[in-house]
Structure 1
Amino acid sequence: MANQLARVRAERGWTQAQLIARLRAAAAQRKVKLPTDESVKRRIAGWENQHKPVSDFYRPLLCDAYRLSAVELGIAGEPAPPSAQPLVVPELAERVTFSRLDGGLVELLHAQTQNIRMLDRRLGGATIYRQAAAHVETLDSLVRYALPGAHREAAADELSQAAALGGWQALDMGLTADAWRLHEIAVAAGRESGETAALAYARAQQAYILLDAGELEPALALVKSGQTHAGRRVSPLLRAWLHAAEGEALAALGRRDAALRALDAATTALPDNAQDDALPYLMLDAGYLARWRGHCLARLGDGDAIDDLTSALGSMGEGRYGRAEVSLRVDLALAFHARGDVTESRTHARRAADLAGRTGSERQRRRIAELLSA
């Protein structure tokens, strides 16, 4: 029977580059090395065109990448005659190697997540996404086979954070299916960890995928779900973030007054000391909140957004946070467009386009294209 690799990849909506990234993540987990991307790409073409068999080396990697069995992928090969099979005790055949986590290992995993996070803020998701995806795969495997206990819960918390970060990168790159899958992992891991903050954050951030897809009411409902789960059990910083996320969903729906009330609630909840070591994934202070308010006003077509956005750009500093600056400049372009200043609008749109090209932000490139064509 012909293999099903071409069909399965098409159903997943994966590019060859996405499959290669998953194969590299599987290879890293199995501690083996792959040749260059071009070499792997030629192999994929050969497999999918049915003229090159899948070798024993690549068969388990493909199974790991697709999370399907060799039989399901049509690459199992011809089974050996029953007489050739050695006698295997069932209990030994299904023996699993469990992860034995400890505090030191969890701290190393945390440090790796934080390094990826810092690089992401400076360089954008396209540069670091492959590393982030491989990190999520490693964490997911460790947590899945970890023995119960506090270290497993701590690792699940790290998995939730890493998957939410990878999911945001995927969304920025226009990989919607990957973004949704990674956020589903983040939500499940947040639930496994028992950390209220992790689950609330992952749920609310997942709403942005729905916003980009035009599913506005479900997006608002998802943010509300995160707020309900959080209640008063999370820090004021996360409560402020959740209020601001609600404001953005309401702004997308055109509910100006409700959006401004939510943003005012975010300002009220924001603590004087906006640094919380327990929430390394949150960057929110008065400057960021001003940018968020400006973004919401820009979505509402309000020229008053310009003051907030200009102030936020000054606080941020050019070149320090690539993706954030792209988003801010797109918002400024929208705000100037709403005011009728086409020249200034196009100036910010072109600068945003240049930055988006460097950071690989397909999400922002779509917004810029709409602006420049207006």
Structure 2
Amino acid sequence: MGMGLRSARKARGWSQDRLIFEMERYAQQRLMEIASTASLKTYVSEWENGKRAISERYATILRPLLGVTDAELRGETEGLSFQQADGYEDLLDRIDSARSISESMVQTFLDQTELLRTMDRQMGAAGLVDQVTGHLARMEDALTFAVLPGTRRPIATALAGAATLAAWQALDAGSVERAWRQYELAKRAAQDADAPLYLAHAMGEQAYVLRDAGRPAMAVELIQDAQRTHAERQSPRLKAWLSAAEAELCATVGMDADARRALERAAAMLPGGDEPRDADMASIFLNGGHLARWRGNVLAMLGDSEAMEELYAALGTADPSFVRARSGLHSDLTQAHLARGELDQARSHLQQARLLANRTGSVRYRRRVELLTGRL
């Protein structure tokens, strides 16, 4: 029964420890729950010695890892024979495959990320976990075996953008540790790609993890550090985005003057026109309409009466495809009306915020809705 597993493992040139490592890596990339390392050592030994049957749960991991059919894995094929592979030969095959990745393949990675980004903002992140995890795993695998800079940089840049998106989705879904780890992945990929725009953006978004975790002062420090990270190579739109984020984080800790100065910098740096994205960085969306909404959010947090006008103007021009962002906008209006004691209007906007948060499955916005509900 276990001869198939043993033969397939040896054909790969893997020890039992290497097999266990690969099983754990495979499971981690796909968010699968498996036994501890110590238990897996027992399982593998018992599988190979015929003392334990391989359950379907582990067979689904072993088959793609070893490139065998179910019958081959369980030793049910007559005359089972694997040609012993040299470990170096296997490595070189993977390096050669990575080297042959063309510009069209990198573009496919980027197109898949863009599709996931569109689905996220319209439907929410909750239903995309498996797709995003698999997408990142494929790019990580390609980058692992890409040797020369000319091959690595395009893949690493694509990975940096995708990992930042995945991290924001994880944060929105309430998976805080996964979000943090994916931001770290994005930062490493950006550094590998020598892509300071993506590095600064990942740092800026990561600051929100700190804010939501109850460390807003540290979040302010991180967003300020992001603005100093290769500042000379940052685009005007990214600088405006980072300044607006700093304004929001400063408002969280009551730094009124700092928040207002950051808003002024954001307005001054933002390129004109309605286009929300840079040609060389697809990860951020920011134009005058988006910044007006952001400004209204910050002013509402500061208790400024001007927030109402800004927020209603933003609501009138909001892109309907940004469903989750509209939940935040209605939450901002709820907060602004509460500050003025206008409870009926606050309840109306809170109902809209709740409906949109439920529609997208946003844990972050649901939490905010609950906090606002407690004030009514």
TM-score normalised by length of structure 2: 0.76
Return the offset for 1:19. Answer: 7.5
Corresponding letter in the other structure for 1:190? A
- Structure 1 distance, partners of 2:340, 2:360, is 28
CA deviations 1:171-215 (Å, max 9, x no partner) are: 111110111111111111010110110111111111011111111
The answer to whether the 8 Å contact 2:308/2:333 transfers is yes
Amino acid at match of 1:351: Q
Pair 1:190 & 2:199 matched? no
- Aligned-residue sequence identity (percent) comes to 34
The reply to whether residue 368 of structure 1 matches residue 365 of structure 2 is: no
Q: Is residue 97 of structure 2 the alignment partner of residue 104 of structure 1?
A: no
Matches of 1:112 and 1:234, distance apart in 2: 25
Distance (whole Å) between structure 1 residues aligned to residue 107 and residue 151 of structure 2: 10
Which aligned pairs between 1:73-152 and structure 2 lie closer than 5 A? Answer: 91=88, 97-98=94-95, 99-100=98-99, 101-152=101-152
Indicate yes or no: 2:317 matched with 1:315: yes
- The answer (yes or no) to whether the contact 2:244–2:266 under 8 Å persists in 1 is yes
- Is the CA contact (8 Å cut-off) linking 2:29 and 2:134 kept in structure 1? no
Distance 1:192 1:202 in 2: 14
Query: Partner letter of residue 31 of structure 2?
Result: R
CA gap 1:290/1:53 in 2 versus in 1, 3 angstroms: same
Q: Which aligned pairs between 1:22-37 and structure 2 lie closer than 5 A?
A: 22-23=31-32
Contact kept, 8 Å, 1:298 with 1:305, in 2: the verdict is yes
Structure 2 counterpart SS, 1:232 = helix
Once the 2 structures are TM-superposed, how far is the Cα of residue 111 of structure 1 from its aligned partner?
Answer: 1.1
Deviation at 1:52, TM superposition (A): 8.0
CA distance in 2, matches of 1:177, 1:88: 38
Counterpart position of 1:358: 359
**Residue 299 of structure 1: aligned partner:** 301
Which moved further from structure 2: 293-302 or 235-244?
Answer: 293-302
Q: Work out whether residues 237 and 270 of structure 2, in 8 Å CA contact, stay in contact via their aligned partners in 1.
A: yes
Which residue number corresponds to residue 215 of structure 1?
A: 215
Q: Give the 3 Å change call, closer, same or farther, for CA 218–63 of structure 1 in structure 2.
A: farther
Secondary structure of 2:148's match? coil
Specify the alignment match of 1:206 in structure 2: 206
Give me the TM-score of the superposition, normalised by structure 1: 0.77
Q: Distance in 1 between matches of 2:352 and 2:123?
A: 16
Q: Which runs of no fewer than 5 residues in structure 2 stay unpaired?
A: 1-26, 34-51, 67-82
Asked if the contact 2:117–2:165 (Cα under 8 Å) also holds between the matched residues in 1, the reply is yes
User: Which structure 2 residues correspond to residues 7-18 of structure 1 after superposition, within 5 A?
Assistant: none
**What letter corresponds to residue 335 of structure 1 in structure 2?**
A
Partner of 2:335: 334
The gaps in structure 1 that reach 5 residues or longer are 1-17, 25-50, 65-85
Q: 1:256 is aligned with what amino acid?
A: D
- The one-letter amino acid of 1:328's match is L
Q: Which residue of 2 aligns with 1:6?
A: none
Whether the 8 Å contact between 2:210 and 2:219 is mirrored in structure 1 is yes
Alignment partner of 1:155 is 2:152 = no
2:248 alignment partner AA: E
Residue of structure 2 in register with 1:174 after alignment = 174
Partner of 2:289: 287
Structure 1 residue 307: Cα displacement: 1.0
Secondary structure of 1:279's match?
coil
**Alpha-carbon distance change, 373 to 160 in structure 1, aligned in 2, over 3 angstroms:** same
Distance across 2 between alignment mates of 1:248 and 1:169: 19
SS in 2 for 1:22: coil
